[in-house]
Every structure is written in C-alpha cells, then in structure tokens.
Amino acid sequence: MTGLLYLIPVALFMGGVGLVAFIWSLKSGQYDDLEGAAWRILQDDDTPKP
C-alpha cells in the first residue's frame, strides 16, 4: 500500500502537466488555424522560392 504514496502524486502531477500544456496551447493560439497547420507541415520552407 505504501506504493500509493508515490503513485497517486505521480498520477496527479502527470495529469496536471497535461492540463497546463493544453491550456497553454489554447492560449498561444495553436487551435486558431487548424486547416493552415495541416498544410504548413507539407511546405518546404527551407528551399528558397525561385
């Protein structure tokens, strides 16, 4: 049972990290342009345009 003393805080902490990460991503506007984000990954921005 002593394992619980570690496991519960660990579980809560990890959940909390997930929550904070989500709220941060929401605040920094990462959900503002879902369509654009999907295309951006396909762009070769490291090759200069002719």
Partner 1 sequence: MTLPCCTIDGEYFQPFKLEGEDAERWISSAGPGLKRIEFLVPQANRPEAMAQIETDLSALGGVTSARVNLTGRRVVVVYEDGAIEPQALIDRLGFLGYMARPFDPRETGLSKDDREGGRLLRALAVAGFAAGNVMLLSVSVWSGAQDATRDLFHWLSAMIALPAVAYAGRPFFYSAVNALRMGRVNMDVPISLGVLLASFMSLFETINGQQHAYFDAAITLIFFLLAGRYLDHLMRARARSAIAQLVSLSAEGATIVEGDGTRRYVPSREIKAGMTVAVAAGERLPADGVIREGISDMDRSLLTGESAPETVKPGSEVHAGEMNVTAPVIVEVTAAGNDTFLSELVRLMSAAEQGQSLYIRIADRLARFYSPAVHTLAAITLAGWLVLGQGWHGAIMAAVAVLIITCPCALGLAVPAVQVVASGRLFRSGVMIKDGAALEKLAGVDTVVFDKTGTLTRGEPALIAPLMVSTETLTLAAGLAQASKHPLSQALVREVAKRGLTPVTVSDIAEHPGLGLSGTHAGEQVRLGSRAWCGVEESNEDQGLLEFAFRRGGKPPVVFHFEDKLRSEAAQTVQELKDMGLAVHLLSGDRDAAVKRVAQAVNIDTFVSRASPQAKLAYIDALSKAGRKVLMVGDGINDAPALAAGYTSMAPATASDIGRTAAETVWMGESAFAVVQAITVSRRTQRIAKENFALAVGYNVLAVPLAMVGLVSPLVAAIAMSTSSIIVIANALRVGLGTTTSAQSARQAFDQETDPRKLRDAA
Q: Give residues in contact with partner 1 (CB under 8 A).
A: 1, 4, 8, 11-12, 15-16, 18-19, 22-23, 26, 31-36, 39-40, 42-43, 45, 49
Distance of closest approach, residue 9 Cβ to partner 1, in angstroms:
10
* 3-state secondary structure at position 36: helix
Distances (CA, A) of 19 to 24, 31, 32, 36, 38: 9, 15, 18, 24, 23
Shortest Å, Cβ 1 to partner 1: 7
Contact 31, 25 (CB under 8 A): yes
Nearer residue to partner 1 within complex by CB, 6 or 39: 39
